[in-house]
Amino acid sequence: MISLKYMSFYSIIISNLKYLIPLLASLFFSIITIMPIMPIGYESIAPLLGVVSMAFWIMHRPDIMSWFFVIIIGFYCDILYGTILGSGVLSSIIIRFVITKVLYKLEPINIYHTLFYLSTSLFIWLFVSVSINSIINLEAYNFFNTFFQGLISIIISPIVIFSQLYLLKKISI
C-alpha cells in the first residue's frame, strides 16, 4: 500500500516534468554558452544560446514558459555571464513582453518568423546589456564584440531551433 502512494507521487512528478523542459533547456544552453568552445581571445563573442532557447520557447509554448521562468533564466544568465545583476532579468522581461504582446499576434509561426523573432530578441538583449554597461561604467565600450556576439548567435541559432523543435515534438502529446 505504501508503494502505491509513492508510485502515484512519482507518476505526478514524471507527468509534470514536461512543464520544466523549457526552463531546463534554456539553463542547459546558457551553460553551454560559457563553456570554453570559442578559440582563445574570442571568449567575449560567445553565442547567447540561452537567450535563443528562451525566445524559442516563448514563441512556441508561451503557456509553459511563464514570467517566473523568464525571470529565473535572466537572473541565471546574469550570474553566468558576469553582467550587471538585473540586466538579464530586464532583457528577458522585455523579450517576453515584445514577443507575446506585439510580434506573436502578427503571423503564424514558421521557421522564417522564428529566425526574425530570435534576431529581435537578441537585439533587445544586446541593446539592454550595452545600455546598462555604458551607463554604469561610463567608459569607452567595444561595440564590435557585441555586434559579433549577436551575429554569431544568429548564425548558430538554427542548431538550437532544430534541437528545441525535437524537444517540442516529444513533449506535445
The 10s digit of each residue's pLDDT in 80-116 is 988 888 999 999 999 999 988 877 676 666 778 888 8
Q: What is the pLDDT of residue 1?
A: 46
pLDDT at 3 over 80: no
Asked if residue 41 belongs to a domain, the reply is no
Average pLDDT over the chain, rounded to whole?
84
pLDDT at 61 over 90: no
Q: What is the pLDDT of residue 7?
A: 59
Asked if residue 85 belongs to a domain, the reply is yes
- Average pLDDT, integer, range 113-123: 88
Alpha helices in 43-110 (DSSP H): 49-60, 67-81, 87-97
Asked if residue 140 belongs to a domain, the reply is yes
Per-residue model confidence as pLDDT tens digits over 31-53:
998 888 777 777 778 889 999 99
Q: In 3D, which of 126, 118, 116 has the Cα closest to residue 150?
A: 126
Asked if residue 75 belongs to a domain, the reply is yes
Asked if residue 1 belongs to a domain, the reply is no
Estimate to the nearest angstrom the gap between the alpha carbon of 9 and the chain centroid. 31
Question: What is the tally of structural domains in the chain?
Answer: 1
Asked if residue 127 belongs to a domain, the reply is yes
Q: Which domain holds residue 96?
A: 48-171
The C-alpha cell at 61 is: 509554448
Alpha helices in the chain (DSSP H): 2-16, 21-34, 49-60, 67-81, 87-97, 111-137, 143-171
Q: What is the pLDDT of residue 102?
A: 79
pLDDT at 124 over 80: yes
Residue showing cell 511563464: 66
pTM value is: 0.85
Q: What is the pLDDT of residue 5?
A: 55
Tell me the HSE value of 64 on the side-chain side, using a 13 A CA sphere. 18
